[in-house]
Amino acid sequence: MIRSMLELREVTVTAGGAPEAPVLLSGVTACFPRGEVCALLGPSGSGKTTLVRVIAGIAGTSTGSLHWEGTDLDLEDLPPSQIGYVPQFTISEENLTAEENILLALRLRVAGLSGAALGARAAELLDLTGLGSAAQTLSRHLSGGQRRRLALSMELASEPPLLLCDEVTSGLDARSEREILDLLRRVAREGNRVVIVVTHGLRDLDAFDKIAVLSGGSLAYFGPPDTMAHYFRVNRPEEIFGRLPQRSAAEWHASWNKHRTHFESADQPKPETAGTNDHDAGDLPVVLPGAFSQFLTLTASRWKIFFRDKGNFALQIGLVLGFPLVVAVFALDGLPAVPSLDAALSGDVVRQLIEARTFAEGASKAGSAVSGLILLQVILLGLLGANNSAREIAGERAIFEKERFAGLKPSAYVGAKISFLAVLVLVQSAWMTWFVRTVTGFPGDGWQQFLFFLLVNATLTATCLGISALARTADQASLASIYLVGFQLPLSGAVLALPAGLDAALRPFIAAYWSWSGALQSLRETRYYDVLELVLPTTLSAASLCLWVLILHIIFGIFVAWLGCLRSAWDR
């Protein structure tokens, strides 16, 4: 007899987990043995995806239990390497080749493999899934069928004994669908795995060993495909969906409970379902890499993707080179000189008044120019920060969720993002500071200006990374980040002073004010600082205070990003 691997006992799921909430699954009982491929079949809304997510541990049960080789999964979770989950839509890095995607999965999921062993295992998976000829093709250039094969290859990296596939044949032509199903049979047989496939399709049902038909969240049938038409009293399997509405879900469930013994006894094991490998999938322990190893893998992969994405790379270069030019345009002829009041000491009252007026005009012009140039750099670096990270997590949330399901540690993921973004921030801020000072002859302590430009860039980058981790979509994250930067200018108080009460309430949250104020402190040893105190509408804060406030902003943004990555977001 085939050893049972997975058992569902009276599994019931209600929306939100509340007993009075709508029922998504009701009393589902089934046993899935090794070496077989089982289809979860049913119309939309019948509970197929919910059942797969319950098995995967993504969704919880309200009542009932799941058992894996006798282990109650409510009491003990399976290690990530024991389950492979292939979502409906293929999730892979589009700017990596098929082979690179598989190698990435191996490095994130399997510890202790040497370079040669990684290459050999990747080649084995490519051969198993028929992707050998497409190994060097970028994921975005693969066909639909090839992308599904790639998804399977990545999930087989840790040799899981349980493989869950959510509509992996959806949208494929008949030939591609059959090829995927044949591949799943091979994966189940050779690896002695349990393979469960969610499907809407009613063709090629003979490719499955068992069919589980769900109706309204209840199990209406669970048995071999060749007796299914007889059970539902239809001539062809294609007529089953038309038959299901003729009874309620509870009636179908009661009917199956009444007849299940007869169909289960008729379902004899197939001789070829025994595993043909020397070892069964999952029998050999798979150790996950540590957080630092995953961090290094993700960092290297992120830089490879950055340089390979020509469009985004060109945009980054254009912004880094172009924004300082925007600043320099306003001071190509140099900064206005600070006027002198020497003539005001004479006894000529008229001349004193003229000189005083001239001084006031010149001081206002010089102070406004210096203040404006620093504020412009602050805002532009804030925009660069938003562009750096607004889509960084939200744009690849599905990839992160899949890898986290397979064992990726959120700390390693966020750490890799920080290391990548830190380099961008450093380069952008250094170039902005050097270019503007060189072209315009900007006065003051250049290192202090660089420090506060770096901090405002890092602050907006970290804050927008947090927004990216919380946002439902990449577009939503981008929009929120742009609004955040847009409000920095008017709320900074650098142009127009806010009312005292409002200024005190908002100032702690406005990174532009703290960077602008801190950078202006670099002019203390110059005459420009004297005129700044005369013309600025807002009081400046001490450089040390500005420094610590911006550092706290950065820490808070990173903390929010980490919290956002701890939250499950499969449905985003």
Q: What is the C-alpha separation between 168 and 260, in angstroms, rounded?
A: 28
- How far CA 283 is from CA of 33, 136, 192, 440, in Å, comes to 15, 31, 10, 68
* AA identity, residue 554: I
Return the pLDDT at 276: 43
Cβ pair 461, 385 in contact under 8 A: yes
Q: Taking the domains of the chain in order of start, what are their residue ranges?
A: 4-273, 295-332+371-566
Return the pLDDT at 462: 97
Asked whether residue 437 carries a pLDDT value surpassing 60, the answer given is yes
- How far CA 111 is from CA of 79, 285, 294, 407, in Å, comes to 14, 11, 10, 11
Cβ pair 221, 228 in contact under 8 A: yes
pLDDT band at 171 (very low <50, low <70, confident <90, very high): confident
Q: What is the C-alpha separation between 333 and 24, in angstroms, rounded?
A: 71
Q: Which tens digit of pLDDT belongs to each residue from 77-99?
A: 778 888 899 887 778 999 999 99
Q: What is the C-alpha separation between 51 and 11, in angstroms, rounded?
A: 9
Among 466, 511, 504, CA closest to 488: 511
Question: Exposure pattern of 396-411 as b/e (b: 16+ CB <10 Å)?
Answer: bbbbbbbbbbbbbbbe
Q: Please, what is the average pLDDT of the chain?
A: 86
Return the pLDDT at 560: 97
Q: Which tens digit of pLDDT belongs to each residue from 345-366?
A: 555 666 656 565 655 565 667 7
Q: Which tens digit of pLDDT belongs to each residue from 65-77?
A: 888 887 787 766 7
The more confident residue out of 462 and 112 is: 462
Query: Residue 482 CB: number of other CB atoms within 10 A?
Result: 15
Return the pLDDT at 572: 53
Which CB contacts under 8 angstroms, 24+ apart, belong to 265-273?
266/223, 266/224, 266/227, 267/210, 267/223, 267/224, 267/227, 269/1, 269/2, 269/33, 270/209, 272/189, 273/2, 273/33, 273/34, 273/35, 273/36, 273/188, 273/189, 273/209
Report residue 402 as tokens.
């899949």
Return the pLDDT at 272: 45
Backbone angles phi, psi at 165, to 5 degrees: -125, 120
Return the pLDDT at 347: 58
Cβ pair 95, 138 in contact under 8 A: yes
Beta strands per DSSP E along 351-498: none
Q: Which tens digit of pLDDT belongs to each residue from 251-298?
A: 888 888 888 887 766 555 544 444 444 445 555 557 899 999 999 999
* AA identity, residue 136: Q
- CATH architecture entry for 4-273: 3-Layer(aba) Sandwich (3.40)
Average pLDDT on 186-210 reads 87
- Edge-to-edge order in the sheet of strand 210-215: 83-86, 162-166, 194-199, 36-41, 210-215, 218-223
Report residue 141 as tokens.
């250039």
What letter would DSSP give residue 58?
S
Query: Residue 221 CB: number of other CB atoms within 10 A?
Result: 24
**Which range in 347-361, 428-442, 500-514 is most confidently predicted, on average pLDDT?**
428-442
For the chain, give the number of residues: 572
